Structure 1
Amino acid sequence: MPFTDSHHLYFPTAPWTGPRDNCIMILFPFHLHHPCTTSEMAGRVTVEAPINIAFIKYWGKRAGGERLILPTNDSFSITLSTAPFRSRTCVELCDDIEDDVLILNGELVNIQEAARIQSVLSHVRGTSLPELRNKRVRIVSENNFPTAAGMASSASGFCALAAALVRVFKSTANVSALARLGSGSACRSAFGGFVIWHKGEEEDGSDCVASQFVGESYWPEMQIMCAVLRGEKKEVSSTAGMQQSVKTSPLMAKRIAVVVPERMKIVSAAIKSRDFATFAEIAMAESDDLQEICATTVPKIVYATEMSYALIRLVKAYNARKGRTALAYTFDAGANCFFFVLRSDLPEVVTMLIEHFPTPLDKFFFSDQSLLEEVKSTTLASEYKTLIDYPKVPFEMLLQSPVGSGVRYLEETESFN
């Protein structure tokens, strides 16, 4: 299996002490709760999977690729630590239930109407041991971050589900390919570090899988932050939005044929040489292109908010004042902003963000407690205090993560919730 347990990170203090309205607090009713840890002899597996953030974007499925989720172009992502962002899923084979059961974030879900979950289940059963094929499953899954709010919960969720199902059914399925059937970007969460999702050429999707480009320890200076701007559900899902863009945006054809292949080459070389400035410029150009494609889609799609655009202006102003590209932004199909920054610049960047968006420190969550102390002791130079004119409104949360590892299987001694 292409997974590792290394570099698994936790917050310095546990349990989670962040604002409850921005994270999922799981309180299972007694009749729904089932202690879930990994016990293959008992037919029970629990998996923790990270989210990933793409800097070369997946936006659209190729003709005939809707059912198997086959993209129009390659994409490139960074896997985040599971400390601030993760899905945890337990799958148990059961003899005492007539139908499959899914409990998602504490709510019983009608699994029969969840088409993509049914697709994943059907495929894994078709590749399982014959004696396990007709077993029913009880699935318990939860996220520790806002669902359907631009935080890629489907990526971590379907990756965790796929990894658990493959193990519990003793399936021959490729975990990355199986996860893709649930959510395209989920295939990238199977691996740590920097990950490429290959679009492939085969009609059956057999070559449409993700692979690790470099591991999580290759570029330890690279850091990721996420500014959570709102927790509401998106008006237009990424699934619906991207297919409308493929059909109607005049920018898609050149993007698929020319822009993405060229950027993949440039950013691959930048990662290999740890060239942050080039990496950052490509990431921001990709993010801007996605917004422009959405703007030229019919009907027009808008994911960003005024605060999102203010953050873009702030990053550009900061880099200009700095005299170098020290900070990068990227947005997916949502308002929340992800930042890329080197560890050496992180204390000043966080302090600069606080100056413009005055967020209490108890809304900041760091994988490294020493970073909080560095931020507290950092004095921001006056030239960075008024980079943009925008109301001083706080973030809901600001989270920081190093580059993370992929799927992790939990042991019997570890609690599910």
Structure 2
Amino acid sequence: MAAIFEATCTAPVNIAVVKYWGKRDTSLILPTNSSLSVTLSQDQLHSKTSIRASADFTTDRLWLNGIEESIEKNKRLVACLRETRALRATLEAENATLPKLAGLKIHICSENNFPTAAGLASSASGYACLVYTLSKLFELPLNASDLSVVARQGSGSACRSLFGGFVAWEMGEKADGSDSRAVQIAPETHWPDLQAMICVVSDEKKGTSSTEGMQLTVKTSALLQHRIKDVVPKRMDDMIAAIHAKDFPKFAELTMQDSNQFHAVCLDTYPPIFYMNDISRAIIRIITEYNKDGVKAAYTFDAGPNAVIYAPKENMAEIFSILSHYFPGAAFDDSLNLVKENPEKVAAGLPQNFDARISPVFAQGAVKQILHTKADDGPRTLDSAQHGLLNAAGLPKRLA
């Protein structure tokens, strides 16, 4: 039996507060503007990947959430494999004692613990996890920023999931994309008071994919050109300053303004793209009403109807109480002990002076799940023997 080389890792979801939407180079995935995100805890949301290399394997194979997928048809995945194998081959050429892994076939098994392609940044965590796991398998001497250049070629936002905390994707200027990379603005320990609540409105695959949608916007939206040239550069500077100062009102205002403009750009696309629905818009009205006497929370929506609400820890129980009033029956994982530690606040209903008329109470299950999470670390390396997804034969332990 041939020697087995294997690595297993997890990678986090990141949710942008200054959005990436549009590519200036579709093959290298170079963005039309810089972006900035918060990396969320893997304890609630993560992709997990095991990759094994063996001389016994006859072809590269991939399983995603228990279903075998074609590698050859996925140009982005092929690019990530090509780049990391080339880096490994260089190491092997420089050091003859290294195992010859670059030429071996590999089996890749990846799982998300949340719905894929429903606007919860599954491609970001998935490709970040793929590239990070490949780097561990091939023992590549790259830092996270260098590795982000590879991950970006799988999914643009994936480059930001290679760091914890607060992360900027600098758009860069070079044609080869070598300066289009992620950098950490502040670690997860910088602002421990900042938390997030995710409202899973839909776990169905979205009608217009991000890849398809953003290029239609680039071709047809005049508003996008204004955003790229006149809005994002200053907004990035202002957001970085707000994060460094832990200025929540400013952070919240910028986050909501950028989410609004992103969806305005989608609406300005021809034909228009609609990612939010009636529940999404109700959440905007609810948070706006909650903020009427001072900014206490911020909403943001990626390319899907699911809301992410950022707020200081002290406001989370009250926000959960409000959401529970308008969206009864949502499943809730109390892994951060929100209900346990704040039973009275959670059961209090709407705050005083809150105008209940801003939204109807929705039917049971309109919001399927509410996730309470926080800013946290970047990718983690696990013990394959204990946590690996592949069995002794190199096939998935779980199939769909």
Measure, in 1, the Cα distance between the counterparts of 2:180 and 2:314.
37
Unaligned runs of 5+ in 1: 1-40
Other-structure match for 2:334: 366
Deviation of the 1:105 alpha carbon:
0.3
Q: Give secondary structure in 2 for the equivalent of 1:127.
A: helix
Deviation at 1:367? 3.4
Contact between 1:196 and 1:212, CA under 8 Å: does it hold in 2?
yes
Question: Is 1:342 matched up with 2:312?
Answer: yes
**Equivalent residue, structure 2, for 1:69:** 29
Q: How far, CA to CA, are the matches of 2:134 and 2:174 in structure 1?
A: 25
SS of the residue aligned with 2:22?
A: coil
Name 1:92's counterpart in structure 2.
52
1:210 and 2:172 aligned: no
Q: Match for residue 134 of structure 2?
A: 165
Q: Deviations over 1:271-328 (max 9, x none)?
A: 11111001001000000001110111011111111111111111111111xx101011
Per the TM alignment, residue 377 of structure 1 is displaced from its structure 2 partner at its CA by: 2.0
Q: Which runs of 5+ in 2 are unaligned?
A: 93-99, 390-400
Is 2:5 the partner of 1:43? yes
- Amino acid aligned to 2:109: V
Is 1:137 the counterpart of 2:110? The answer is no
Q: Deviations over 1:372-416 (max 9, x none)?
A: 223432124343371523242331000011101000000256423
Distance in 2 separating the partners of 1:264 and 1:179: 22
SS class of match (1:43): strand
Whether 1:83 and 2:39 are equivalent positions in the alignment is no
Give CA-to-partner distance per residue, 1:220-258, whole Å, 9 cap, x none.
110011100011111110011111111110111121112
Alignment map for 1:167-316 (pairs within 5 Å)? 167-171=136-140, 174-316=146-288
Match of 2:343 among 349, 368, 376: 376
2:68 maps to which of 100, 108, 115? 108
1-side partners of 2:320 and 2:186: how far apart?
27
Match of 2:358, SS state, is coil
Residues 167 and 416 of structure 1: CA distance in aligned 2, closer, same or farther (over 3 Å)? closer
Q: What residue identity is the alignment partner of 1:69?
A: I
Question: Secondary structure of the equivalent of 2:31?
Answer: coil
Query: What corresponds to 1:11 in structure 2?
Result: none
Moved more, 203-212 or 389-398: 389-398
Cα distance in 1 for partners of 2:228, 2:117 equals 26
SS of the equivalent of 1:47 reads strand
Amino acid of the structure 1 residue aligned with 2:38: I
Q: Report the AA paired with residue 357 of structure 1.
A: F
CA distance in structure 2 between the partners assigned to 1:247 and 1:181 by the alignment: 21
Offset at 1:83?
Answer: 1.2
Secondary structure at the aligned position of 2:30 is classed as: coil
1:320-365 CA distance string (max 9 Å, x none): 1xx10101100010010110010011111111111111135xx112
Name the stretch that deviates more: 71-80 or 166-175: 166-175
Q: 1:375 to 1:350 in 2, by over 3 A?
A: farther
* RMSD (Å), alpha carbons: 1.5
**Do the aligned residues in 2 keep the contact of 1:127 with 1:172 (CA within 8 Å)?**
no
Provide TM-score, normalisation by structure 2. 0.89
Please give the alpha-carbon distance, in whole angstroms, between the structure 2 residues aligned to 1:257 and 1:385. Answer: 39
* Distance in structure 2 (CA, Å) of the matches to 1:376 and 1:415: 35
Quick one: percent identity of the two aligned structures? 41
Find the aligned partners of 2:334 and 2:310 in 1 and give their Cα distance. Answer: 15
Report the 3-state secondary structure (helix = DSSP H, G, I; strand = E; otherwise coil) of the residue aligned with 2:356. coil
| Aligned partner letter, 1:81 | S
Does the 8 Å contact 1:351/1:375 carry over to 2?
Answer: no
**Does structure 2 retain, via aligned residues, the 8 Å contact 1:318–1:387?**
no
| 1:317 counterpart (285, 289, 298) | 289
Match of 2:302 among 332, 350, 367: 332
Q: 2:355, 2:231 → 1: CA distance?
A: 36
* 1:43 maps to amino acid: F
Which of 108, 119, 144 is the aligned partner of 1:150?
119
Q: State how many pairs are aligned.
A: 370
TM-score (norm 1): 0.86
Of 10, 17, 20, 1:58 maps to 20
Paired residue type of 1:248: T
CA distance in 2, matches of 1:267, 1:405: 20
> Which among 105, 118, 121 is matched to residue 78 of structure 2?
118
Alpha-carbon distance in structure 1 between the residues aligned to 2:39 and 2:240: 16
The residue number in structure 2 matching 1:17 is: none
Alpha-carbon separation, structure 2, partners of 1:169 and 1:183: 21
What one-letter code is carried by the residue in structure 2 that aligns with 1:383? N
Change (3 A) 1:305 1:375: farther
Q: What is residue 356 of structure 1 aligned with on the other side? A: 326
